[in-house]
Amino acid sequence: MADSFTEEIRVKAAEIWRRELEHPFVRGLGDGSLAIDKFRFYLEQDYLFLIQYCRVFALAAAKARDLETMTLFAGLLNDTLKVEMQLHRDYCHRLGIEAPVLENAQPAPVTHAYTRHLLTAAYAGTIAEIVAAVLPCQLGYAEIAAALAREGRGGENSFYREWIATYTSREFTEGAQRLTRLLDELAAGLPKRETDHLEGLFLTSSRYEYLFWEMSWTRATWPI
């Protein structure tokens, strides 16, 4: 039996997260074999995703009822703007892609749907709902990067070593852990219908995380 709410929902999402880690896009990040055109597509779409992700954190900070929670989301917002998005800009600079190109790219179907799922939770939901929706992204990236690092992938000669280093950094992993603890605190004592709803948000975001890797692998855009 799981010791906490987040452990319980993480177990229920285990198959989705396993398939994420085994996805060829993720494996290519790890061993350096990922084709640059696929990574470029990912960078553009993930940059658009992160712009909306920042809005989610800003809304969460505004809804926070105490300074500690407000500080957590303000910190996550700052880290996303200044660390994650800078990682994308640095990679794009190496690939000859200017920042305006990133900002003016068009969101693909999965990017559009995933960000709308998160924004709906942020605008209409509680802090608990927001955390349940964003945790698969924060914790999922930390787990994937840690797994690739443990396998000894992303070495000094890999083009993707900075990606792994960013998501295994102390700041990023601590942010994911703090969100995990916050969700456990917020879920404690809630009736089953509410924890079931939180679980649904978590599972939906987990599925979108998988679909984002798949979209990036196939470079899937609007068919018409």
Q: Which residues are catalytic?
A: 137, 209
Encoded tokens for 178: 């703090």
CA 52 to each of CA 46, 48, 55, 178, 219: distance values in angstroms, whole numbers, following the listed order:
10, 7, 5, 21, 20
| CB-CB contact of 52 with 121 (8 Å) | no
Output the DSSP codes for 82-138: IIIHHHHHHHHHHTT--HHHHHTPPPPHHHHHHHHHHHHHHHHS-HHHHHHHHHHHH
User: With b meaning 16 or more CB within 10 Å and e meaning fewer, what string describes 109-129?
Assistant: ebbbebbebbbebbeebebbb
Looking at residue 37, the DSSP 8-state letter turns out to be H
